[in-house]
Amino acid sequence: MNEETFHLLETLGEDGLLPVLSVWRDRYPRGAIIALVAESERSRLPLLQAACRAHGLVLLGALFPGLIRQERFVTQGACLLVLPGVPRHALIDRLDADGPGSAARIAAALPQDLDAEAPPTLFMIFDAMVPNIASILDDLYLELADGVRYLGANAGSETFQPMPCLFDGERLIGDGVLCLLLPGDWNTGLIHGYRAPDDLVTATATAGNKIVGIDWRPAFPVYRDKVLERYGVALDRENFYRYAVHFPFGIELANGQTLVRIPVALDADDGILCVGEVPNNALLTLLQSPEVDSLDTARSLAERLRLEPPAYPWLLFFYCAGRRLHLGEAAERELTACAREIGADPIGALTLGEIGSLGEGAYPLFHNAAVLGIRWKAPGDKPA
């Protein structure tokens, strides 16, 4: 790993942190630190903020359920990346109470003279508890269209309990988004690898991320019967979270693509709560999960990332926590497969949703159960 631009702390403490910041301050006196921090280190975040302020470095980052290092998932520490200059950025709160104004607030934080010939990348880290991320992305596309490339991930706690998880050098907020405007020529890939069977049902009643009814019946009984019929697993309220992650919904899009929505909880009226919104009257199917030892995802991701030599021997990597829960021990084998197929060491974070396009189009989609790889480069001193 090239520690000129990246450093991994096994724990967030002064002994490991201060020497790195001193080197980066001397090398990049106008620099910015991008910090991916494990949620278990939350109490030590003020130390990181104070240290960056003392060294004159801008800090931008988020708390995630876990991190990725050496082809393993870990629950402690921090991944720190340095940029030679400070990118255009914004830390915006109260999105869950903001309605359609959320997208306008994000767009207003960006330059008005975006380069149409070489659109920059708008990298967004949302608090996973914001209930309408997919709608915000739809509204944002109406504001910005193809003026940017859309990319991002969700931060927060894997317990899906509210937790402030987005920060800069002074603040720690929830219910918001951290936006970074980065170079648009970075090579990226987003893959989920789920295959959609032919039989479809209709979400006849939804409310944000809750499926209220399927085929005009309460959602859970229909879902329960489908899972029993196809996979022989008997779901109930007690075992729902343990098993439902293995049987996600697929939303069929008009262009033939499939969005994944992972069920995470039931409400008192047999509604199913998912990670991410489900549109009313969406066509749903139960997805065939990736085979545990399949190389399909790793090879597909590698194809998208082999367009140019790696800038560094590591790859910035985001991996869905729901995917890890489904694959179990095989998730780390998938990390190893990705490292081997791509030829770079994945470093990054466990996420609670991913943002990007499955195809060549620029339209931003909110995903579950995906992996997202970014060929990191060191941009010049000028902001994107």
Find which of 41-55, 224-238, 306-320 is predicted with most confidence, using mean pLDDT.
Answer: 41-55
User: Which ranges constitute the DSSP H helices of the chain?
Assistant: 14-27, 45-54, 101-108, 133-144, 219-231, 240-244, 296-305, 321-327, 330-342
Share of the chain above pLDDT 70, in %: 92
* pTM for this predicted structure: 0.90
Find which of 100-104, 142-146, 162-166, 288-292 is predicted with most confidence, using mean pLDDT.
Answer: 162-166
Domain ranges of the chain: 6-192+294-374, 201-286
Angle at CA 164, nearest 5°, toward 211 and 133? 35
Helix or strand holding residue 218 (H, E): strand 217-218
CA distance 245 to 299: 24
Q: β-strands 6-9, 72-74: how paired?
A: unpaired
* pLDDT tens column, 169-185: 999 999 999 999 988 77
Share of the chain above pLDDT 90, in %: 60
> How high is the pLDDT of residue 188?
87
Average pLDDT over residues 60-80: 97
> How high is the pLDDT of residue 382?
41
Q: Give the HSE-up count for residue 158: Cα atoms under 13 Å, Cβ half-sphere.
A: 20
* pLDDT tens column, 345-371: 999 999 999 999 765 557 899 998 899
CA distance 169 to 33: 10
Q: Token digits for 194?
A: 């789920």
* pLDDT tens column, 4-43: 788 999 999 999 999 999 999 999 999 999 999 999 999 9
CA distance 113 to 148: 11
> How high is the pLDDT of residue 253?
83
Amino acid identity for residue 105 in this structure: R
* pLDDT tens column, 205-264: 999 889 999 999 999 999 999 999 888 899 999 999 888 888 899 998 877 778 999 998
> How high is the pLDDT of residue 201?
87
CA distance 91 to 172: 10
